[in-house]
Amino acid sequence: MNPYQIFDESVSFEEKALKVFKYQSENDPVYGRFCKALGITGPVNIAEIPLLPIQAFKEKEIVTSKKNLSADSYQLFQSSGTSGMQRSKHIVVDPDLYKQSIFDGMWEFYDLHDYVIWAYTPGYNSNPNSSLVWMLNALIEREDSGHSKFLDLDKPLLQNEIDEIRASGKKLMLFGAAFGLLDLAERSNVDIAKDTIVMETGGMKTFRREMTKQALHEQLAKDFGLPLEQIHSEYGMTELLSQAYSVGTQWFDCPSWMQVSIRNPENPMQEVEQGEEGLIGVIDLANFYSCSFILTGDKGIMNAENQFQVLGRWNPKNLRGCNFLIDQD
Amino acid sequence: MNEAMENNFQDHIQKVSRATKAWLQPDNLSLKKTIDKTVEEGLFSFEDIKFQIRTLKQKVDSGQVEEWAKRANLLETKNSIGQKVLCLHAGNLPLVGFQDALGTILSGTDYYGKLSKKDPFLLSSFLKMMDEVDLDIQIQYSTELADFKDLQADKVLFAGSEESVDPVKEKLFKLNAVNDNTEFVIRTAKFSIAYLDNENPETLRDMIEAVFRYGGKGCRSVAVIVSPFTLSKVKCHFTDYVEEFWMKNPQLKKPKENLAYQFAFNKAIERDQAWLDDFLVQETDDFPDQEFVLNWVVGDHDKVKELRSRFGNSVQTVYRTGENINGIKTEFLSNAQTPDLWWEPDGIPIL
């Protein structure tokens, strides 16, 4: 299968997923062993494809083949983390495939011609292998007005730069991790256009603050002087080469080559009922050369429109031991 | 405390002790019936209940009720007559709430017990016996939290987690069962760690008991073994003892499908493991967050200390099989499932 066929909308998602499964289960040793241990060899539909727990990216190199690849011919992404902490590694054999996934994915939600991209990424700059920074860099490089850029850290937004974007006829899309954006808003005293999009990229938990996503979005809207529907979110991670977007609500949609399902933590082969909480499972066909079938450690729910919400990390720490559970005991 | 009160309280302790002993007698038909009912309803295995009751009987018969009262200086200053204590009992293993119930009653406070729907018969049989011996305290119990409406408890005792605390408190406030002055005592320990430094049959049997009794549930059960031996070295030997244990103590609750998923994941990342049908042993120093899984860690005393520190207040006890581990408090592995009545959940005495 030509990997770029994943973007071909004339072929059904299921058909493409089954082909990718065949390729990866045969060529990715880690995923191959996983499927074999579960006794899954030839699924006939998506529901029969097992999702690899995301921790595998911390334990092993998940790649279909590194043969004939020199170290400088592939891109390595690594999650951020403190020293001693195990970090996820994602070997990206074809960075152009990732680039197309980024651009085509955004096109499904936004008219990229209209936007200048600003990125505020404190905390990520210390990680030279950040997939988020790579993605933002790609978006900045493709935009040709000369206004797109990474913002200097610890500096406020400048009114004249905002006015220049307005004068150019474009709109601003401001990317940033949750609390970095709050700091930026606090530091800045500017009048930004009401059609500006603030794109929050996650990173909800820091050692300093903890708040719900809804509260964060309300705060960002207030601090930037924007309507709440202008606060959007991106759901992505080192282990994925596609992103889902929530456009002014708490519900995420996927691009056409990515699919999310909510899995039963007690049996990840099963989906939970709509509206029930479970583990977020992702099929990301852009992960063509690693593993497209991933069980994340995130908690989520799905609505009737196949949109999903991210409810934080799944916390299984309470399964053992004595634990009074109000609904069970 | 004046002499009359002291005598009264001594009398209270004696009554509690006698009633507890009577309840544990093999000819106690009421207890026998509740055991049968618990087994019939598939709540716990007969073997696990028998083990728990035998353990309690040994402790009570050896005078531990009186000894507990003595250790806690109950005759001097510490009895809290007139206080209302609400115990929210978990039901993950048979009679897991026994210690809290006995301790509360022994201390002379009024006992209010929310019994678990997963263990509704055994503890209520004990409490019924206590109620019948004319103690000068209130004893009320129910499986319905709503029955404690307007209680206004002075203290609430329960085992939980950060996530479970708020919903529980919210519910209790809604029922007016507590108020702003109520003290909440919340236990967070989830599992224990053991250091295994030899393969003697007796040690291995103790280890199996500590890991597999009650299907691995309970915070005193071992979920992490640290050992200088690799899993592959002891796997066969270990498995033989597990089979021997399961022959005598069939495991009632079975793991869910995610255990097979974990097995496949271990295969995928080439992690050493042993599949024991109803349990999985895997070589990893990750946090033990799954039921029916034992984590095996190759390491020495320093590794034990590192894990104790890393897992923090989720760890109930560190067990040893040989010499002391400097710098941390330990207990003998052989006591894992047979603790004294005064053992301290989360390191905090009940009395």
pLDDT in tens, A214-235: 889 999 999 999 999 999 999 9
Instruction: State yes or no: ipTM above 0.90.
Output: yes
- Find the closest chain B residue to A30 by CA distance: B268
Distance to chain B for A48, nearest Cα, Å: 13
Last residue of a domain, one of B154, B170, B187: B187
A317 has pLDDT over 70: no
Q: Within this chain, do residues B56 and B161 fall inside the same structural domain, yes or no?
A: yes
Q: Which residues of A touch B310 (CB under 8 A)?
A: none
Q: Within this chain, do residues B175 and B290 fall inside the same structural domain, yes or no?
A: no
- Average pLDDT, integer, range A86-91: 92
| Span B32-44, pLDDT tens digits | 999 999 999 999 9
- Find the closest chain B residue to A25 by CA distance: B268
pLDDT value, residue B219:
93
Q: Which residues of A touch B141 (CB under 8 A)?
A: none
Spatial contact of B96 and B89, defined as CB atoms under 8 Å apart: yes
Residue A175: partners with Cβ closer than 8 Å, 6 or more residues away:
A117, A118, A119, A120, A121, A136, A139, A199, A201, A234
Q: Within this chain, do residues B87 and B119 fall inside the same structural domain, yes or no?
A: yes
Q: Which of A56, A269, A270 sits opposite B265 (nearest CB)?
A: A56
Q: Within this chain, do residues B212 and B169 fall inside the same structural domain, yes or no?
A: no
**3-state SS assignment for residue A32:** helix
Residue A213: partners with Cβ closer than 8 Å, 6 or more residues away:
A204, A233, A250, A310
Last residue of a domain, one of B168, B187, B206: B187
Distance to chain B for A247, nearest Cα, Å: 30
Distance to chain B for A129, nearest Cα, Å: 23
| Span B270-311, pLDDT tens digits | 999 999 989 999 999 999 989 999 999 999 999 999 999 999
B6 has pLDDT over 70: no
pLDDT value, residue B9:
85
Q: State the best of A51, A322, A325 to mutate against chain B, taking most chain B CBs within 10 Å.
A: A322
CA distance B139 to B127: 7
Angle among Cα B14, B18, B20 to the nearest 5 degrees reads: 115
- Find the closest chain B residue to A318 by CA distance: B161
- The CATH number assigned to the domain holding A67 equals 3.40.50.12780
pLDDT value, residue A110:
96
Look at residue A328 and tell me if it is in a domain: no
Q: Write the DSSP symbol of residue A252.
A: B
Look at residue A324 and tell me if it is in a domain: no
Q: Which of B261, B269, B290 sits opposite A319 (nearest CB)?
A: B290
A323 with B164: Cβ contact below 8 A = yes
B190 with A320: Cβ contact below 8 A = yes
B269 with A265: Cβ contact below 8 A = no
B269 with A56: Cβ contact below 8 A = yes
pLDDT value, residue A207:
43
Q: Which residues of A touch B114 (CB under 8 A)?
A: 329
B160 with A53: Cβ contact below 8 A = no
Distance to chain A for B256, nearest Cα, Å: 6
Q: Within this chain, do residues B263 and B303 fall inside the same structural domain, yes or no?
A: yes
Structure confidence at residue A140 as a pLDDT band (50, 70, 90): very high
Q: Within this chain, do residues B176 and B252 fall inside the same structural domain, yes or no?
A: no
Distance to chain B for A94, nearest Cα, Å: 24
Last residue of a domain, one of B187, B218, B246: B187
Buried b / exposed e over A139-167, threshold 16 CB at 10 Å, is: bbeebeeebbebbeeeeebeeeebeebbe
Strands B84-88 and B110-114: parallel
Look at residue A109 and tell me if it is in a domain: yes
Q: Which domain holds residue B228?
A: 191-347
pLDDT value, residue A84:
65
Spatial contact of B197 and B226, defined as CB atoms under 8 Å apart: no
- The CATH number assigned to the domain holding B18 equals 3.40.605.10
pLDDT value, residue B351:
82
Domains identified in chain A, total number: 1
Kindly tell me the burial class for residue B319, based on how many C-beta atoms sit within 10 Å of its own C-beta (0-12, 13-18, 19 or more).
Answer: buried
| Span A261-289, pLDDT tens digits | 999 999 999 999 999 999 999 999 999 99
B163 with A55: Cβ contact below 8 A = no
Look at residue A320 and tell me if it is in a domain: no
- Find the closest chain A residue to B256 by CA distance: A266
B349 has pLDDT over 90: no
CA distance A125 to A119: 11
Domains identified in chain B, total number: 2
| Span B183-233, pLDDT tens digits | 999 888 889 999 999 989 999 999 999 999 999 999 999 999 999 999 999
Look at residue A319 and tell me if it is in a domain: no
pLDDT value, residue A37:
97
CA distance B31 to B61: 17
Q: Which of A56, A321, A329 sits opposite B116 (nearest CB)?
A: A329
B79 has pLDDT over 50: yes
Q: Within this chain, do residues B235 and B329 fall inside the same structural domain, yes or no?
A: yes
Q: Which domain holds residue A138?
A: 3-313
A206 has pLDDT over 60: no
Q: Within this chain, do residues B118 and B245 fall inside the same structural domain, yes or no?
A: no
Q: Which of B258, B264, B316 sits opposite A265 (nearest CB)?
A: B258
pLDDT value, residue A320:
60
Q: Which of A59, A315, A316 sits opposite B290 (nearest CB)?
A: A316
A317 with B289: Cβ contact below 8 A = yes
Look at residue A221 and tell me if it is in a domain: yes
Q: State the best of B269, B286, B289 to mutate against chain A, taking most chain A CBs within 10 Å.
A: B269
Query: What does the longest C-alpha to C-alpha distance in chain A come to?
Result: 63
- The CATH number assigned to the domain holding B294 equals 3.40.309.10
B16 has pLDDT over 80: yes
The pTM of this model reads 0.91
Structure confidence at residue A321 as a pLDDT band (50, 70, 90): low
B110 has pLDDT over 60: yes
B171 with A326: Cβ contact below 8 A = yes
CA distance B206 to B183: 38
- Find the closest chain A residue to B191 by CA distance: A321
How confident is the prediction for chain A on average, in pLDDT? Answer: 91
Q: Which residues of B touch A35 (CB under 8 A)?
A: 264
How confident is the prediction for chain B on average, in pLDDT? Answer: 93
Strands A197-200 and A171-176: parallel
| Identity of the highest mean pLDDT range in A29-38, B198-207, B321-330 | A29-38
A165 has pLDDT over 50: yes
Q: Which residues of A touch B161 (CB under 8 A)?
A: 317-318, 323
Structure confidence at residue A80 as a pLDDT band (50, 70, 90): confident
Q: Which residues of B touch A59 (CB under 8 A)?
A: 269, 271
By percentage, how much of chain A surpasses pLDDT 90?
A: 78
Among A280-289, A297-306, A310-319, name the one with the lowest average pLDDT.
A310-319
State how far the alpha carbon of A176 is from the alpha carbons of A72, A195, B35, B296, in Å.
29, 17, 60, 41
A319 with B164: Cβ contact below 8 A = no
